[in-house]
Structure 1
Amino acid sequence: MSQAAGFPPGPYSRALFERAHAVFPDGTTRITVERDPVPRYIARAEGAYLTDVDGRRFLDLNLNFTTLIHGHGFEPVRAAVESQMRSGICFANPTEAEIELASLLCARVPRLERIRLVNTGTEAVMFAIKAARAFTGRSRIAKIEGAYHGAYDWVEVAQASVPENWGPTDSPAATPYYRGMPPSVLDDVVVLRFNDAAGARQLLSRQASDIAAVLVDPMPSRAGLIAPEPEFVSALQETARDHGILVIADEVLNFRQDYHGAAARYGLQPDLFALGKIIGGGFPIGAVGGLGDVMSVFDGSRGRPLLPQGGTFSANPISMVAGHAAMRALDEIAFARLERLGNHLRNRLEDIIARENAPLSISGAASLFRIHPKPTRPREFREAHCNPAQAKVMKEISRFFAGHGIVLPGGAAACLSTTMGEAEIDVIAGVFEAFLSENSALIEEIV
């Protein structure tokens, strides 16, 4: 496929975007929609591929921000949803389906003893933090600089820090995410640098008596999709235990890394988890869970609980049956195959970089990968941050991929699905090699 075939978006997408401006503030309903300068509107999808409203087909490496681990239109999910819709869409009462999904998750994940089902990853993180506060009686939290955890004031602190405001390396600044963020929110957040074991020990210990929890994504996507070093995991774990601080693992995205979850993969032993994305089979979902004694803050069997939690669509049966169907199919064999496929792709991309002597690097694990315009793979958010020349290269990579029929997320995790195989890996590697070959002058600007 020629570059003109997929980039820029076609005339029907442009017409829809013009219509959208009459009803949405900037023509979209979520800031994460990529536009260059127009978003690509999708008409239908199947398996690993999208078709836009202009009839152009794309290999999808976004999969709704890593949600669709089985690709689009997965038949077991479709069948489960169709059956449930004939029985009812939502009720004020509980259903057997929520017990089945919860039981599956608790059986797989170490330390996930009790669970509450909500509607989004943001809700899961929010209630995990509230649970930690209710359990410890403390109000402050610690989080990783640059890490994304959804739309809750405290977790948005230092999410978008830049060199001009991120502060010294040994004491990262608590920077606001939006205009008008209350100063009290900034005061309640201790910011840590990823993979800085000594810094984590020092900062957590210094303010331990006020900290309810340390929130950590085992491999934060927007902060670089970088693996945690064992020393850093140990520093978080040991310091938290020494000071009665709970550990929250945000696995909304990274639960797709392993049959038992990302925390188990990296040796983290959380007190609480936040889950989402793949556990809903493509439908809205979130879950907060963890150790039984901590989760008891939600227990309302003897009156008002320490932490009341509800939601009109929480544990809705459509998400429950879709999630159960998706997760049942995502067995250990499926995870092992995705691991092999991801390793193969990352190795192919690294081999191409070495052969072309290009100043790029690859991060990721399992079915996730990310391209960095850096000659050395970053270890943490500040190292992953792009200067203008590097950001320009990343934009051109996404454009080039779109022009060759591949949706590659910019500045976030790209992912594989169970519907992909060697043919898709060959296509991705071939387009990446072509980009390096045809854009050598542009790439040289980042050195």
Structure 2
Amino acid sequence: MSTYPDSVPGSRDLFARARKVMPGGNTRTTVYIDPFPIYAARGEGCRVWDVDGNVYYDCINNFTAMIHGYAQPEAVAAVADQLPLGTAFGAPTLSEIELAELLVDRLPSVEHVRFANSGTEAVMMAIKAARAFTGRPKIVKIEGAYHGSYDFAEVSLDSSPSNWGDIPASTAYAKGTPEGVLKDVVVVPFNDIEALAAVFRAWGSEIAAVLIDPMPNRAGLIPARQDYLDGLVKTAHAAGSLVIFDEVISFRLGYSGAQGLWGITPDLTALGKIIGGGFPVGAIAGRSDVMAVFDPTGGKPALPHGGTFTANPVTMRAGIAAMTALTPEAFKHLDEIGDTLRQGTSEALKKHGLPGVCVGLGSLFKLHFTDNPITDYRSVYPTAAERKMLDQFHKGLLNRGVLSASYGLFALSTSMEAADADKILAAIDETLGAIVR
């Protein structure tokens, strides 16, 4: 049996073709695999087929966006109904009201919603809204946390021992990041309320908001402690600062998102991914007084915001269909599948005598090849040997028909059944065994 990369000659050919018209043959850094990515041809339910006809269980689901997997019947029908009526207008439609009403109903912290075209844009506009509302320049963010492709949100995304400092230094992610960006982003370690308090003692009057993902993927997918989130909200509000919850990914954790699980009431929430039913989407949501910075009805708003395809009815209708299908029963199913895979992966690590821990909640889990106590970004920062094991794990799963993220992340879908979870777990077990051998 041939294995990756020999098993995907069609993808090899497409990558060679792509290199002629795209930098490095790539238009999306996250999907690149060395020496070349696998090109998808179609998806159905919890499976995807590549251009060579290989079939995989999809355990990344477009990096957490496809919570129902592919070709969800309700979303397909909604889009089919909308297409002949028009895909985008220079005017609002009923569909955006209906999706906004659904989100307001699910999130007790949210009174008003404004749509965008990506999670990146949602976070970007939430940060700008916090600045416009408070009149302050600085934001606080967690070291290693990913919040999209916006200069201020990217600070210290991939800091390393060579530049992260004894106290988290604000480090650039992209070459050419202005020094002014680094000056206005204060970085703190995750789950450390004392460090956060120290930052507010130093710069509290300048801080517009704290940007927090309660289970930050790139920072380890470690769930926040309840006392930490409670303390964070209290500390920020005492200083007159806002709290921005980035739920672009974590909204898939429960009916009312992560904030529902933790019982937190943020001032602003950034949404994306699952709320678009498989189409590009973002949303900024929050208290009406804060969201009023976008209000154009009295003249020029404090924060103007446009977007040619914002709230287009195809996305809105697909999003309504996808979110309506995310019932409490659907989340219960996802929790059960996730628990099965987290527990089974942890047992497989022990069975094969490998260092490792499996973390996460609900439909998300992540494997770290370390036995160190994990608390934050630095505690899970992989060594060269651990990076090699992650690469072996990722490619070993590909050869056994499972598609996951190259850095150990798994995102499950409602289209997976218990039997599918068992097969995925068998592939994980076989792959770990092969790593040992």
The normalised TM-score by structure 2 is 0.98
Q: What's the counterpart of residue 445 of structure 1?
A: none
| Displacement after TM superposition at 1:7 (Å) | 4.6
Distance 1:412 1:272 in 2: 30
Identify the residue that residue 354 of structure 1 maps to in structure 2.
350
The CA distance in 2 between the partners of 1:204 and 1:412, in whole Å, is 34
CA distance in 1, matches of 2:173, 2:139: 16
Residues 49, 59 of structure 1: 8 Å contact kept: yes
Per the alignment, residue 332 of structure 1 pairs with 328
| Corresponding residue of 1:244 | 240
Tell me by how many angstroms 1:233 deviates: 0.9
Q: Which amino acid aligns with 2:17?
A: R
Query: Match for residue 23 of structure 1?
Result: 21
Deviation at 1:231, TM superposition (A): 2.3
Aligned residue number for residue 192 of structure 2? 196
Deviations 1:110-154 (A, max 9, x none): 111101011000110011001000100001100000011011111
Q: What's 2:122 paired with?
A: 124
- 1:402-446: CA deviation from partner (whole Å, max 9, x where unpaired): 0101111122531110110111211121122222223226xxxxx
- 1:173 Cα offset (Å): 0.3
Q: Match of 2:391?
A: 395
1:423 aligns with 2:419: yes
- Note the C-alpha offset of 1:376: 4.1
Q: Which moved more, 1:196-205 or 1:132-141?
A: 196-205
- Cα contact 2:397–2:403 (8 A) shared by 1: yes
2:81 to 68, 80, 83: 83
1:371-382 equivalences under 5 Å are: 371-376=367-372, 378-382=374-378
Deviation sequence 1:225-270 (CA, Å, 0-9, x none): 0000122212211110110110000000110001001122123221
Secondary structure, aligned partner of 1:207: helix
1:39-70: per-residue Cα shift (whole Å, max 9, x none)? 10111111111111011101111110010000
Of 143, 156, 173, the match for 1:158: 156
CA RMSD of aligned residues (A): 1.2
Where does 1:245-264 land on structure 2 (aligned, <5 Å)? 245-264=241-260
1:175 offset after TM fit, Å? 0.3
- Evaluate the alpha carbon distance shift between residue 279 and residue 412 of structure 1 in structure 2; reply closer, same or farther with a 3 A threshold: farther
Q: Would the aligned equivalents of 1:133 and 1:139 in 2 still touch at CA under 8 Å?
A: yes
Shift of 1:5: 4.8
CA distance in structure 1 between the partners assigned to 2:71 and 2:4 by the alignment: 23
**Structure-1-length-normalised TM-score:** 0.96
**After alignment, is 363-372 or 403-412 more displaced?**
403-412
Corresponding residue of 1:65: 63
Question: Which AA in structure 2 matches 1:264?
Answer: G
The residue type equivalent to 1:432 in the other structure is I
Partner of 1:436: 432
Aligned mates of 1:7, 1:377 — CA distance in 2: 35
Report the equivalent of 2:315: 319
Check conservation: 1:219, 1:228, Cα contact below 8 A: yes
Quick one: distance in 1 between partners of 2:208 and 2:408?
29
- Cα distance in 1 for residues equivalent to 2:436 and 2:83: 53
Query: 1:385, 1:425 → 2: CA distance?
Result: 28
- Output one character per residue of 1:269-328: Cα deviation in whole Å (capped at 9) or x when no partner: 210000000000000000001011111111111111111111111000000000000000
Offset, 1:391: 0.3
Extract unaligned runs of 5+ from structure 2.
Answer: none
Is the 2:64–2:273 contact (alpha carbons within 8 Å) kept by the matching residues of 1?
yes
Q: Is the 8 A contact 2:354 2:369 kept in 1?
A: no
Q: Which moved more, 1:407-416 or 1:208-217?
A: 407-416
Which residue of 139, 146, 149 maps to 1:148? 146
Instruction: Quote the Cα distance in structure 1 between the aligned partners of 2:194 and 2:296.
Output: 41
In structure 2, distance between residues paired with 1:264 and 1:197: 21
Amino acid at match of 1:132: A
Secondary structure of residue in 2 paired with 1:287: strand
Q: How many Å separate the matches in 1 of 2:130 and 2:6?
A: 46
Say which is worse superposed, 271-280 or 298-307, in terms of deviation.
Answer: 298-307
CA distance in 2, matches of 1:7, 1:19: 16
User: What are structure 1's unaligned runs of at least 5 residues?
Assistant: 442-447
Which amino acid in the other structure matches residue 25 of structure 2? G
Letter aligned with residue 315 of structure 1 = A
SS at match of 1:362: strand
The within-5 A match list for 1:127-138 is 127-138=125-136
Q: What residue is the counterpart of 2:226 in the other structure?
A: 230
1:367 matched to 2:353? The reply is no
Judge conservation of contact 1:222–1:412 (CA < 8 Å) in 2: no
How do 1:90-109 residues align onto structure 2 when only pairs under 5 Å count? 90-109=88-107
**CA–CA distance in structure 2, aligned partners of residues 282 and 221 of structure 1:** 20
CA distance in 2, matches of 1:377, 1:357: 17
Whether the 8 Å CA contact 2:276–2:316 is kept in 1: the answer is yes
